[in-house]
A = this chain, B = another copy of it.
Amino acid sequence: MRDQADIEQLSAGAWTKRCYFAGRALMDATLRPYDLGSTQWYVLWHLANNGPSVQRDLGRALELERATLSGIISTLVRKDLVEQTSSGEDQRQRLLTLSAAGEALWRQLPDLSFIHEAAFGGIDEAELATTIRVLQSATERLQKLLRKD
């Protein structure tokens, strides 16, 4: 969030933001032909790899608020990619399952790991480890401040 002149002097926070958006944009662009958003992809990914899941657990795994996930799920249900049934035991919970169409779509989706490879492939292991450590520490410190309020 600076003028382009001093692009070299951006802060760590600014680069974090730019990097996140660049990755997100590439993911969105890759998924657009399949009419899928990035978070919709994460839901399919989780269901495809972990099997049926209760909505609450999925929300925790993907770190999404209930309200956010509720909208995503209803979109996926409308597209017939996911089935949402009430899960016997606890009548408040909803069980999510990939539909046949959802499984079929999942099989034809491209592998997105090229994005992470493009971003961080070939970077020195130690530098990558440092980056992860710094970002993890920053995240934890910010979350601690958030909880204080």
Contact = CB atoms under 8 A, between A and B. Distances in A.
B22 A142 contact: yes
A120 B134 contact: yes
Contacts of A131: 12, 15, 130-131, 134-135
B22 A146 contact: yes
A51 interface: no
Nearest to A25: B146
Given A4-B60, A19-B16, A20-B16, A119 B142 contact: yes
Contacts of A119: 12-13, 138-139, 141-142
B130 A12 contact: no
A136 B115 CA distance: 15
B146 A116 contact: no
| Contact-size category for A | 35 or more
A20 B149 CA distance: 19
Contact of A12 (B10, B120, B145): B120
Q: How many copies does the complex hold?
A: 2
A142 to B, nearest CB: 4
Given A1-B62, A2-B61, A4-B60, A15 B142 contact: no
B11 A116 contact: yes
List 8 tightest A-B contacts by C-beta distance, closest first: A22-B142, A15-B135, A119-B138, A131-B134, A20-B20, A19-B139, A19-B135, A131-B131
30 contacts: A1-B62, A10-B136, A11-B116, A11-B132, A12-B120, A12-B128, A12-B131, A12-B132, A13-B23, A13-B116, A15-B131, A15-B135, A16-B19, A16-B23, A17-B20, A17-B23, A18-B135, A19-B135, A19-B139, A19-B142, A22-B142, A22-B146, A23-B138, A26-B145, A29-B146, A115-B142, A118-B145, A119-B139, A120-B138, A131-B135
